[in-house]
Amino acid sequence: MTRFGRAFLTALALGGSASANGRFPATNQILVHPGNPEQIVLRTTFGLLRSRDSGAHWDWECEQALGYSGTVDPPLAWHRNGLLVAGLFDGLSVAQEDSCSWRRDPSLGSQVVVDVSLHDPQGMRLDALTGSYDHASPAGRPAYVSDLWTSSTDGRVWSRSSTPLPPDVIVESFDRASSDAQRVYVTGESETGGARAGVLLRSRDGGASWQRLPFAFDGTGERALLLAAIDPARSDRLYVRTGGSENGRVLVSDDAGDTFRVVWTGAAPQGFALAADSSTVWVGSSRGGLERASTADHAFTTVNRTPIGCLHLANEWLYACSLDAYGFAAARSRDRGATFEPLLRLAEIRGPRPCADEGGANPCLGQWAVVKATVGIPDTVDAGPTPRFDGGTAEAVQTGSCGCRLGQSPSTAGGPAGAIAPAGALAFLGAILGLARARLRRRSCVSP
């Protein structure tokens, strides 16, 4: 499984309930625009969903529009000016908040973009972590070329901002402390003599130099060390979580990673969030629901039984991913997770969004009929045209530019469109029972 293939559910082909790339339709990252709370992006196992009205309506953008396909979950970050960035296996893909069109940013070339993040609390710069296999390394000695990149203040120009990271480390996640821009942490793994171990890389000078700190896995199948959060007020306090098995841990360090203590254990954590005032922490999982604790004692209690696939804090709201079978695909809470206000069930997706005057063919139009059938979206919610099919190849024929869509029917704002069909619920339970050891990326589910 690729490093980007970490999601709420394992990629299982479950009869008619699987998405076009063989994965169960699910959501696994949600982000709110740092400068415009009406703009929300939701990553799914079959592309992206975009809302421009605080979650009342959702438009679908297919994987091909961004420039990827298969079991890949690209990490996402949003610049305050509206530029949405997706990290791919071969570079960065970017789009403006009101645009349907994605373009490749040439700055990073075809580097594997492992993670993306805000550079500063104001959202005026972005960071990206790259980690590509070094094809020039001696045979039998795997090595990697990994670097930190930082954008210009408008998010449009990127430059390398660190010295190279250790070549034996497979980098997994990173972040920069909001209270000290020179403090950067990177997590990864290294394998020596057949034994895999976690690695924490720490920089106190913005990436000009790195200190390497070992991290021991617990021997139960852990295979990933992922950065969960850095305390907004204390750059020496950081949270990490482990992945790679059905169970996982959350650990905290108060000395910049020199030592850690375990504060949570349970089913592999899928969501993590830390309050802006550092007082409260949340952990969510598919089997344990949502748990909450004060950071004074880290004594966790279950506050909601809903299976959680991602968490994100923004503007006093706690956003979460789950599945239709449990009430919502995306929701938000104003009471610290005790109750959730549904924002979306997958059956409410409107389809590809009209993009007047952008020109070119929309690659998503020809796939919409398949997605509708897979997810179970009724015709009354369809926002796109019925695609023509070529009788010889059975492949969809593009019907014109993105601005040529007709017959859009708005979905009903607010209120769910009905529970998932019983077969879908059974498929979800089958997916839960068949969970493989998915190694979940930080951006798949973590809120800064």
- Identify which of 1-5, 232-236, 400-404 has the greatest average pLDDT: 232-236
pTM of the entire predicted model: 0.81
Residue 424: phi and psi, rounded to 5, are -65, -40
> pLDDT at position 365, please?
87
Nearest to 248 by CA among 113, 442, 1, 433: 442
Residues in contact with 22: Cβ distance below 8 Å, sequence separation at least 6, in sequence order: 11, 12, 13, 71
Q: For residues 75 and 305, what is the distance between their CA atoms, to the nearest angstrom?
A: 27
pLDDT at residue 402 greater than cutoff 50: no
According to DSSP, residue 204 is labeled: S
Given a cut of 50, whether residue 3 has pLDDT beyond it is: no
- Cβ neighbours of 65 (radius 10 Å): 21
Name the CA dihedral angle for 57, 74, 319, 377, rounded to a multiple of 10 degrees: 40
pLDDT above 70 covers a percentage of the chain that reads 76
pLDDT at 445 over 70: no
The dihedral formed by the CA atoms of 93, 132, 224 and 173, expressed in degrees to the nearest 10 = -50
Q: Is 425 exposed, middle or buried (0-12, 13-18, 19+ CB in 10 A)?
A: middle
User: pLDDT for 299-311, tens place per residue?
Assistant: 999 999 999 999 9
State the sign of the Cα–Cα–Cα–Cα dihedral 161, 166, 172, 178: negative
Answer for the pair 75, 86: CB distance below 8 angstroms, yes or no. Answer: yes
Name residue 262's beta-bridge partners.
Answer: 251
The per-residue pLDDT for 20 is 53
In terms of Cα–Cα distance, which of 145, 102, 112, 97 is closest to 2? 112
pLDDT at 404: 28
**Sign of torsion over alpha carbons 353, 358, 364, 366:** positive
Mean pLDDT of 381-395: 38
Whether residue 75 contacts residue 91, with contact meaning beta carbons closer than 8 Å, is answered with no
pLDDT one-digit tens code per residue, 69-90: 888 899 999 999 999 999 999 9
Q: Which of 316, 373, 297, 285 is nearest to 15 (CA)?
A: 373
Residue 139's pLDDT band, with cuts at 50, 70 and 90, is: low
pLDDT given at position 356: 54
Q: What is the mean pLDDT of residues 409-431?
A: 35
Query: Residue 8: its pLDDT value, please?
Result: 31
Strands 59-61 and 47-51, sheet pairing: antiparallel
Nearest to 436 by CA among 10, 12, 66: 10
Element holding 137 (H helix, E strand):
none
Residue 154 CB neighbours (<10 A): 12
Give the pLDDT mean for 252-265. 97
CA–CA distance, 267 with 245 (Å, rounded to integer): 9
For residue 217, pLDDT over 50 is answered with: yes
Question: Residue 267 carries which side chain, given as an amino acid letter?
Answer: A
Which of 386, 390, 389, 396 lies closest to 363 in space, CA to CA?
396
Map out the domains of the chain with their CATH numbers: 15-348+425-444 (2.120.10.30)
**Per-residue pLDDT band at 432 (split at 50, 70, 90):** very low
Give the whole-angstrom CA distance, residue 333 versus residue 311: 11
Position 236 scores a pLDDT of 98
In what side-by-side order are the strands of the sheet with 330-333? 310-314, 317-321, 330-333, 341-344
Check whether 106 has a pLDDT greater than 80. yes
Mean pLDDT, the chain, integer: 81
CA distance 435 to 440: 12
The answer to whether residue 136 scores a pLDDT higher than 90 is no
Lowest mean pLDDT segment, chosen from 86-90, 316-320, 361-365: 361-365
Q: How confident is the model at residue 418 (pLDDT cuts 50, 70, 90)?
A: very low
**Are 247 and 219 a contacting pair, CB within 8 Å?**
no
Within 8 A by CB and 6+ apart from 341, the residues are 331, 332, 333, 334
- CB count within 10 Å of CB 313 equals 18
